[in-house]
Structure 1
């Protein structure tokens, strides 16, 4: 005799509502998948997203995260394979590769604030991206608060919560033969393909989107660390202090992940067919200016420079001011008047019948005195949001190739004139039995367990290993290729002949018998050809705090 199961009426109704809801959602997702497939521009897909959302979103039925899981998982889907082939350094020293598969023939040019470049990838399911405001929860999950195209952009980017850029969590495959390296991505599973690491959170949930911080870390009006626009970078700080500062926001935070440089490098390869960003979207590596003022003044918020000097400076960039004591920006005297304030205007002025340039700064209404020949102005790392008005997802405000300003790839701002201090990697020098120097990478996949010592919470990254013969000295070297790894960007060898070959990036080699090092990436505003997404600096301790090192922000992983 069969047993009768009695389901409470309210539970039955809930199940029926859920089934009906899911059925309607599935039909809607399929309908918009077809519309997105027919779209030919990013603007069209943006409009379709807003339409899809506004027709359906009901906070009693869906969370914002659930809506985004559907959009990225069900709507943004096609059969395309995007690929790139790049030569290994032994085959060719060139940085230039070749787009393959469904990317063949697509040509990208970066945008500026005044001119939209060409981005034939921007509307495609694997590359369309979206800004959101989010918070990681203590259990490793996350909550979405504001969404681009739906909520005010000012709320999305405010820093009230972390500003992330979402992109479809595709399947990728990296491999190599003796002559070439290959990278391919697709929307659906296939042998040899894996999801991006940063699409999986600490709970182990694999999301249909991955999330990267849009900006370096900054400090909000209440003194808390966050990720938003218009904020001063958190520099003159260390890996140790950075982890502590992020923990003040929550035990689930430690800061930037090493998956971010890996992602930026992959996007550069997939969209531009290059082994590095140098020469295309340069980032801030050539904005090193230091001047003593030309005319003394009292009670001002400006400095007087020659017109030739001021012509090198950009309104909206940051500077420090002090009394000259050498040229090192770490020397307290050189930033004793203020440190990292924005230039608000540059105007021509006539003083005693001679023309100069007055460089105005926002010092919060606090005036200061300047003395000709000794008061010293130096450029500083940029505030976040420099590229907010760029007419595309890739580029720089004025000139992507000048080296004077931050870059942006897939909506993520990078290389603000200071190193990015990665929190979840630690690097280690050691010596082997033959006296050779070894340099290795260790990663912690749980930001709540990140620390300043390599322990059981860290995994050694296979392949992230450099060896130098005993007696090798310190020097800048250049990277030939990067290793193949799921989410760590690391030099395969550092024997390239210069800055314009290989991956177009420098490696600061300072061998030591032992010692844990903090992970400093990208370079600084005076590094020229050394600086790049692939640039690595091997000599800073976890306690090193210097003007040219800034904290980053986390994504959803870990």
Structure 2
């Protein structure tokens, strides 16, 4: 037992813990006593590293595969060990009260501070070690009966196995109780470990059979195609873009009938974490995500039989090694145009090196095209940035941040270990949106949710969907398509605009809603924004014009978690 983990001043408490510790290391003979022991020790921790070390110690002393499944072990850890009486809260003025996106931490969160991390610098996260915020990566699979199995566990198994995509990489966090309400012009949000009137558990902590777990499970990455050829959630995988809602559901069903793709509930969770940790109504400017990495250049010099494009040094300075590009013959600037990706697409930049040719210095942007070479023509060969592959932030020294710079808008963000905004919209599967007109001729925009991923439709709103009537947006007749800015989001398990007349991207939720009214029509759930969207991109961002069959470079399929 590490001395720096235990700091309990009362001698009687120390003796009791020592006795419980003896039981804890005795092969799990008394699990209840062991869990209580570690609960008290976790309460003394002041860093996530200390809690991580206790988790390792607890697991090694308690895990017996003949007695416990890994699911049961994690139920014990999140349900019995990670326990406290704190209340974490935040308040914000509603837009009608103030247009600011800045809130105020309340209750036991007062005085706590968060500064995101990079791969070189660890920020400050006063929440990361606390029972309600401590999080853990696992490798898991949902079963056809609605239950799930956990195969690999962070800190216990090799992290390469956890993130490999052999199974789905999830992030677990305690299944806490939350309450959200409006009062006197303000929005209040509180979270705690125990039930109280008006508080509800996270829906991501319940499987489709209705069983509630001590933890909630959410996907760590966008979806990718794994080594088996099937869609999965793991690191180092190209995004599944150019794929519609319909095709995405089909790809997940090919993995198993229990899957359909990402849930909109994950988006709401990230929004709430941003609020509870940073007292910000939107992520923009705090952990920006990839919203401004829109670079397109023609080759500056012609070559034959290469896997690189020569640019000017000034152009290449805008690109990151490890980011993704497409290459083709320029035909306008639309990445959807076949000519613009006729050489390759979604290929990683492996290196950027200066070369001198005829007395002129160029920057060679090397790509991994699998050994297949191509010719380039100055002024014609066209290189465009593409959405990032998964795992860009795997080396970040914390649970929140971005590899190099979390505010520059050039790279994906990470919050509570979950990677988001990779430069393409996340296509969620369990929501379908619908335009209609009412008796006054006004446009109505509605959200329909399917709580069972095995019943999600790839094409239409069926009887398995529930209409969230309280979320209906009413848009005046005569309104034409345009980007608007979101004032507030609704109190709901899903992220949904509440007021879309904010004056710009720096206020309210700091994200946009593309209002494109139609007399009728089902729309796919596209969220977050793309690498070219700038101020409209953000956790709350969503357009209303994408059909269920629409497939473009800027929309990528997401991954499922536990819910449904």
CA-to-aligned-CA distance 1:226-271 (integer Å, 9 cap, x gap):
0000000000010000000000000000000000110000000000
Q: Does 1:158 align with 2:164?
A: yes
CA-to-aligned-CA distance 1:173-206 (integer Å, 9 cap, x gap):
0111141001100001111111011111001000
**Equivalent residues in 2 for 1:202-217, closer than 5 Å:** 202-217=208-223
User: In the aligned structure 2, how far is the partner of 1:464 from the partner of 1:248?
Assistant: 33
Residues 129/473 of structure 1: CA separation in 2 closer, same or farther (3 Å cut): same
CA-to-aligned-CA distance 1:494-516 (integer Å, 9 cap, x gap):
01000000000000000000000
Q: Does 1:475 align with 2:482?
A: yes
- Give 2:470's match in structure 1, choosing from 446, 454, 463: 463
**Alpha-carbon RMSD:** 1.0
User: Any idea what SS the aligned residue of 2:246 has?
Assistant: helix
**Equivalent residues in 2 for 1:1-400, closer than 5 Å:** 24-400=30-406
User: Any idea what SS the aligned residue of 2:114 has?
Assistant: coil
TM-score normalised according to structure 1 size: 0.96
User: In the aligned structure 1, how far is the partner of 2:157 from the partner of 2:82?
Assistant: 21
CA-to-aligned-CA distance 1:25-67 (integer Å, 9 cap, x gap):
1000000000000111000000000000001101110000000
**Equivalent residues in 2 for 1:467-546, closer than 5 Å:** 467-485=474-492, 487-546=493-552
CA contact (8 A) 2:28 2:34 kept: no
User: In the aligned structure 1, how far is the partner of 2:515 from the partner of 2:184?
Assistant: 26
User: In the aligned structure 2, how far is the partner of 1:252 from the partner of 1:21?
Assistant: 36
User: In the aligned structure 2, how far is the partner of 1:296 from the partner of 1:455?
Assistant: 54
Is there any run of 5+ residues in structure 2 with no aligned partner, and where? 1-25
User: In the aligned structure 1, how far is the partner of 2:172 from the partner of 2:381?
Assistant: 45
TM-score normalised according to structure 2 size: 0.95
Alignment: residue pair count: 538
CA-to-aligned-CA distance 1:519-553 (integer Å, 9 cap, x gap):
00000000000000100110000000010000000
User: In the aligned structure 2, how far is the partner of 1:462 from the partner of 1:110?
Assistant: 37
Q: Where does residue 17 of structure 1 map in the other structure? A: none
User: Any idea what SS the aligned residue of 1:246 has?
Assistant: helix
User: Any idea what SS the aligned residue of 2:498 has?
Assistant: coil
Moved over 3 A (4+): 20-23
Residues 40/96 of structure 1: CA separation in 2 closer, same or farther (3 Å cut): same
- Give 1:406's match in structure 2, choosing from 390, 402, 412: 412
User: Any idea what SS the aligned residue of 1:235 has?
Assistant: coil
Is there any run of 5+ residues in structure 1 with no aligned partner, and where? 1-19
**Higher mean C-alpha displacement, 454-463 vs 433-442:** 454-463
